[in-house]
Amino acid sequence: MITAKISAGGKLLGIDVVDHIIVAGNSGEYYSMRANGDLNELGEQLLKTGEVIAEPW
C-alpha cells in the first residue's frame, strides 16, 4: 500500500514514480511493479477514491 500512496502523492506533485522493484535476497530474482502493470493502477485508484495519502507514524 505504501507504493500506491507514493505514486498518488507523486502524481499530485507532478512527479512520476518510475518503478518499484522488489528484490528477493541473493537469489537475483526480482519483481518490477511497472513491468507487471501494477504501479499505474495503484496510484489512479487512490486518486479516484480520495483515500488519505499520508498516515501518521
pTM: 0.54
Nearest CA among 37, 56, 41, 31 for reference residue 7: 41
Residue closest to 32 by CA, chosen among 12, 3, 1, 2: 3
In tens, the pLDDT along 6-26 reads: 777 887 888 878 888 889 988
CA distance 28 to 5: 27
Q: Where are the domains of the chain?
A: 2-49
CA distance 2 to 8: 10
20-46 pLDDT per residue, tens: 888 998 898 999 888 888 776 665 666
pLDDT for position 23: 92
